[in-house]
Structure 1
Amino acid sequence: MGHQTQYIHPDLKLSRFDDTFYKADVLFEQHLLVWLISGETKIVQGDKTYWFSAGDILLFPRNQLVTVINYPKYGQPHQSAVMHLTKKRLTDFYNVNKVEVKQMHPPIFRTFEQHPLLKSCLHSLIPYFELQEPLPENIASIKIEEAITILRTIDRDIDHLLANFDEPGKISLTDFMEKNYMFNMSMDKFGYLTGRSLTTFKRDFKKTFQTTPQKWLTEKRLDLAHYQIREKKRKPSEVYLEVGFENLSHFGFAFKRRFGYAPTETAG
């Protein structure tokens, strides 16, 4: 059945995956509050990997790269309720609730496990998905403001994330690419996150790395895969998604072309 998304409001949705797994390198344009109803989620950010199970609640900051892999579990689909905390809605909220914002470097996704206040708030959305018509805006606004208020109650630093409306500025290309090369993003997105137009990104990349972005990305991903397989003794099927490849056979072909042997072979 694949992936299904049911919206009851532009900012409220129910997401379902029935396949063996679903993997995506994501860059959200707005904050997402996610309640995992069933299934299991693996998140890779930088050199760290996190696992979450049914009942866990996560907040994904906008403009942050993460790899998300969703798995069905115990015969149930991977299902989650998602609330979009848009820039406009947060701007309106913080125009009323004034705060002094401190810079956070870098903002990372947050976990709230199964906090009863958030769980109750998000669980109360489920009956709305039985409606035959869209959820009225005034009710959606009440529920989203309730969630924001709960977040502020249980996390004293959350205002510094939610009330920060700055866009990415120009940053070190070397530092950013070395940290984020395993993410399957378009060149436009890489440019945006480093504070550059596409043309400037390609020009600066060539000047910095003496090669094209695509060639450099492929080699870096293969080198990481080689390390994971040879040194960490991991299977190619466990590694290829994490390092930025979408297809196992294509990964195997590229690996052999670079190193002279297949990832399943033991030759060094």
Structure 2
Amino acid sequence: MAEQQQNKYAKIVWTVTEDNFFKDEIILEFHSFVRIISGEMRVVQAERSYTFGAGDTLLFPRNQLSAVIKRPKDGRPYKAIVLGLTTDRLKEFYTTNKIETIHPIQYGTKKFDRHPLLDGFFASLSSFFDLQDELPEPIASLKMQEAVSILRALDKTVDGLLADFSQPGKINLADFMEKHYMFNMPMEKFGYLTGRSLSTFHRDFKKVFYTSPQRWLTKKRLDLAHYQLTEKKKKPVDVYLEAGFENLSHFSFAFKKQFGYAPTSLI
């Protein structure tokens, strides 16, 4: 079970997951500043995977496709505080704060070492969840400015990411899909991230791959799972989520239909 408590003005979320695991495929509308309180979070992206635990502080860029798996650890559920750095608030911040140098944009997830500035900031956020009423808008605005100021103090390259307000443009469809096929997202999302409407996405996809997106995605995911089982010697329960399947039974059925034998026979 995953629970969330949110402050609407500040986009501050207290999230708790008490299940053995909780998986979600996400494309964030805005950058998210996260402190993990307990439990473990595994983030799978196109180029690499990350595992984060209690005490870690992260910055997730917007418009980046990720599979997020949250698990309890050491007898404690997954808990985290999330602050959304919305585009409107960032635009407001950068109209009054000068950018000294624009560094190349680093789109990957950023992890920050423990620091008194971070500890104090997230401690202040956690206290807001005891409020009976909404956090007043002026205070919410100040907390967002504080967050960005801390990020800028700890990472001199972060302005390149936070001050980039562009939307995804039309990109090479084949390259994108080969890197992101394991993400179980609606076709509309794949279209958006490649700079296409849904109808254009389907049309361009068939021109490039000579089949439908769903058939191509299923085959690619099963091939990935087969490789993980045979070459990496992983178990089906450790493979199906990262290969883009929603549950183990669906994965096992599709795998047997494709290869003629159950994934458990490879253990």
| TM tier relative to shorter chain | over 0.9
Matches within 5 A, 1:180-199: 180-199=180-199
Q: Is the 8 A contact 1:32 1:85 kept in 2?
A: yes
- 1:47 deviation in Å? 4.7
Alpha-carbon distance in 2 for matches of 1:45, 1:8: 28
Does the residue aligned with 2:119 lie in a helix, a strand or coil?
helix
Asked if 1:127 is matched to 2:127, the reply is yes
1:21-36 equivalent positions in 2, closer than 5 A:
21-36=21-36
Amino acid in structure 1 at the alignment position of 2:183 = F
Please tell me the residue identity of whatever aligns with 2:175.
D
- What is the alpha-carbon distance in structure 2 between the residues aligned to residue 236 and residue 161 of structure 1? 37
The correspondence of residues 113-262 of structure 1 with structure 2, limited to 5 A, is 113-262=113-262
Residue 133 of structure 1 aligns to a residue whose secondary structure is coil
Change (3 A) 1:218 1:243: same
Aligned-partner Cα distance in 2 for 1:4–1:50: 23
- Per the TM alignment, residue 150 of structure 1 is displaced from its structure 2 partner at its CA by 0.5
> Given that residues 66 and 183 in structure 1 are in contact (C-alpha distance below 8 angstroms), is that contact kept between their aligned partners in structure 2?
yes
What does residue range 85-96 of structure 1 map to in structure 2 within 5 Å?
Answer: 85-96=85-96
User: Which residue identity lines up with residue 65 of structure 2 in the other structure?
Assistant: L
Return the alpha-carbon distance in structure 1 between the equivalents of residues 13 and 208 of structure 2: 42
Question: How far is the alpha carbon of 1:103 from its aligned partner?
Answer: 4.9
1:25 and 1:113 map into 2 onto residues whose CA distance is: 26
The gaps in structure 1 that reach 5 residues or longer are none
Counterpart code for 2:193:
L
1:84: which partner in 2?
A: 84
Quote how far apart the aligned CAs of 1:248 are: 0.1
User: How many equivalent pairs are there?
Assistant: 265
Shift of 1:203: 0.1
> Please, what is the CA RMSD of the aligned residues?
1.3
CA distance in 2, matches of 1:164, 1:49: 24
The answer for the alignment partner of 2:63 in structure 1 is 63
Q: Give structure 2 stretches of 5+ with no counterpart.
A: none
Give the Å deviation of 1:234: 0.3
Taking the aligned partners of 1:83 and 1:94, their CA distance within structure 2 comes to: 18
* Greater mean deviation of Cα atoms: 89-98 or 221-230: 89-98
One-letter amino acid of the counterpart of residue 161, structure 2:
L
CA distance in 2, matches of 1:194, 1:156: 29
Residue by residue over 1:157-208, the C-alpha shift from the partner in whole angstroms, topping out at 9 and shown as x without a partner, is 0000000000001100000000000011111110011011111000000000
- Greater shift, 138-147 or 61-70, is seen at 138-147
> Counterparts of 1:150 and 1:266 in 2: how far apart (Å)?
49
SS at 1:233 equivalent: coil
* In 2, Cα distance between equivalents of 1:85 and 1:139: 14
- Structure 2 match to 1:9: 8
SS class of match (2:132): coil
In 2, the alpha carbon distance for the partners of 1:35 and 1:149 equals 16
Deviation at 1:88, TM superposition (A): 0.2
Secondary structure in structure 2 of the residue aligned to 1:35: strand
User: 4+ runs of 1 displaced by more than 3 Å?
Assistant: 100-103
> Is this contact kept in 1: 2:4–2:16, CA < 8 A?
yes
Give, in angstroms, the shift of residue 102 of structure 1. 5.0
TM-score w.r.t. length of structure 1: 0.96
- Worse overlay, 218-227 or 123-132: 123-132
Distance 1:84 1:266, change over 3 A: closer
Query: How many angstroms apart in 2 are the aligned matches of 1:160 and 1:114?
Result: 23
Equivalent residues of 1:58, 1:113 under 8 A apart: no
Q: Distance in 1 between matches of 2:117 and 2:150?
A: 7
